[in-house]
Amino acid sequence: MNQKTAVAGANIALLKYWGRTDAKLNLPANGSVSLTLDNLLTRTTVEFDPASKGDSLTLDGKAQTGEVLARVTRFLDHVRKRTGRSDAARVASVNAFPAGAGLASSASAFAALAAASFDAAGTKVSAKELSTFARLGSGSASRSVFGGYVEWLPGARHEDSYARQIAAPGHLALHDVACIFSGEKKKVGSLEGHELADRSPIHGTRLKWVNDALPRMKEAILTKDLGSIGDLAERDALFMHSVMMTSDPSVLYWTGETVRGIRDVRSWRDEGIPVWFTIDAGPNLHLLTPAEHAPDVVRRARTTWGLSKEQVIDSAPGEGVRAVEDHLF
Ligand code: PMV
């Protein structure tokens, strides 16, 4: 057996990727910055098998068909082309996400798949090249190749659009407390959403703002300036959602719980608690807070919003993608 396995963590963007210049290559309209998380992990095993006719995929033990399998096959085709392999692959993947969280992550999924499939093909690639390939699966996966604080350079060609580490996980103990108001599958997925971005009249204004915010965010991370990290992250989340809401057609991911949550986080901050929110393509809040305040923020989220243990997930900065030996088959 020549199966290989990799583990990758999800990441939360502090400056977001929203909109693309090339939909096929997932070249983003802007650079982004993220934090890789230690608690939302995907483990994936890949084996190339000359005897098998087509690719196969199981997710959390369930065999997949249709678009889910087709997306993995399209990704594996890039790897086959690069490595010269022509065999079909057997892929198994499990998410070590708290049950019922509804937080399935394409970032950790494609970062783990990229690493395991190159390894299984017997081709060594640099972390930078691995990041370009993870990006072909899902843009944000380019960032999960690296641990800690990460930036994704947008680039104008496949080879130039990759992520790199800004600071290691141990540099700054910023936690992400994910508050899952709803685990429902979203009606407009991020792939579709990216296509709508330039149908908002304020998309260009946001891109200018993000380009100006990128060096400020990196500086804030390097100098451990939590206030600036939180302020920039919160503003960009609001800016990205403003682009979503003002696209044609409009995409509104928020629910009443999102708005109530935003108001509560701001009043906790007025009480002196260093906590900021960010929001991905969904209704759920991610609360950014230093490690020492995480237990209090978890408690407040649970009691104020009536969330269960499984609906509030506290993650510390995590490592980048890595090979492991505990194969899934
Ligand atoms: O990688 P995708 O296509 O799922 O896009 C991610 C989009 C956001 O999560 C909203 C922002 C980001 O930068 O992660």
pLDDT score recorded for residue 189: 85
Confidence of residue 191 (pLDDT cuts 50, 70, 90): confident
The protein residue whose alpha carbon is closest to atom 8 in ligand 1 is 280
Confidence of residue 1 (pLDDT cuts 50, 70, 90): confident
pLDDT score recorded for residue 104: 62
DSSP letter for 275, please: -
Contact 9, 41 (CB under 8 A): yes
List CB contacts of 298: < 8 A, sequence separation 6 or more.
177, 312, 314
- Which atom in ligand 1 lies closest to the alpha carbon of residue 107? 1
| Protein residues whose CB sits closer than 6 Å to any atom of ligand 1 | 13, 16-18, 32, 106, 138-140, 190-191, 280-281
- Which atom in ligand 1 lies closest to the alpha carbon of residue 141? 1
DSSP 93-143: EEEESPTT-----HHHHHHHHHHHHHHHHT----HHHHHHHHHHH-TTHHH
pLDDT score recorded for residue 237: 98
Determine the number of helices (DSSP H) and then strands (DSSP E) in the chain. 9, 14
The protein residue whose alpha carbon is closest to atom 6 in ligand 1 is 140
Closest by alpha carbon to 1, among 81, 62, 90, 65? Answer: 90
Span from the CA of 20 to the centroid of ligand 1 (angstroms): 11
Look-up of token digits 């992550």: 105
- Which atom in ligand 1 lies closest to the alpha carbon of residue 280? 10
What pLDDT digit, counting tens, does each position of 23-76 carry?
A: 999 999 999 999 999 999 999 999 999 999 999 999 999 999 999 999 999 999
Confidence of residue 219 (pLDDT cuts 50, 70, 90): very high
Using CA atoms of 282, 151, 162, 136 in order, give the dihedral in degrees to the nearest 10.
-10
Closest by alpha carbon to 281, among 216, 176, 197, 211? Answer: 197
Q: How far apart are CA 189 and CA 191, in angstroms?
A: 6
pLDDT score recorded for residue 100: 45
Residue 12, sorted as left (phi over 0), alpha (psi -120 to 50) or beta, turns out to be: beta
Span from the CA of 216 to the centroid of ligand 1 (angstroms): 21
Range with lowest mean pLDDT among 76-85, 93-102, 154-163, 201-210: 93-102
- Which atom in ligand 1 lies closest to the alpha carbon of residue 106? 4
Could you tell me what percent of the chain has a pLDDT over 70?
A: 98
Span from the CA of 282 to the centroid of ligand 1 (angstroms): 11
Span from the CA of 244 to the centroid of ligand 1 (angstroms): 13
Span from the CA of 28 to the centroid of ligand 1 (angstroms): 10
pLDDT score recorded for residue 82: 98
Range with lowest mean pLDDT among 183-192, 263-272, 276-285: 183-192
Q: How far apart are CA 256 and CA 226, in angstroms?
A: 28
Span from the CA of 137 to the centroid of ligand 1 (angstroms): 12
The protein residue whose alpha carbon is closest to atom 9 in ligand 1 is 280
pLDDT exceeds 90 at position 190: no
What mean pLDDT do residues 98-106 have?
62
What pLDDT digit, counting tens, does each position of 124-172 carry?
A: 999 999 999 999 999 999 999 999 999 999 999 999 999 999 999 999 9
Q: What is the pTM of this model?
A: 0.97
Contact 188, 170 (CB under 8 A): no
Look-up of token digits 């991370």: 221
Closest by alpha carbon to 174, among 66, 28, 30, 297? Answer: 297
- Which atom in ligand 1 lies closest to the alpha carbon of residue 281? 10
Supply φ then ψ for residue 57, to 5 degrees: -145, 130
pLDDT score recorded for residue 182: 83
What pLDDT digit, counting tens, does each position of 220-269 carry?
A: 999 999 999 999 999 999 999 999 999 999 999 999 999 999 999 999 99
pLDDT exceeds 60 at position 102: no
Burial code (b: 16+ CB inside 10 Å, e: under 16) for 169-202 equals beebebbbbbbbbeeeebebebeebbebbbebee
Span from the CA of 141 to the centroid of ligand 1 (angstroms): 9
Contact 289, 317 (CB under 8 A): no
What mean pLDDT do residues 79-84 have?
98
Contact 289, 177 (CB under 8 A): yes
DSSP 188-236: S-HHHHHHHGGGSTTHHHHHHHHHHHHHHHHHHHHTT-HHHHHHHHHHH
pLDDT exceeds 90 at position 186: no
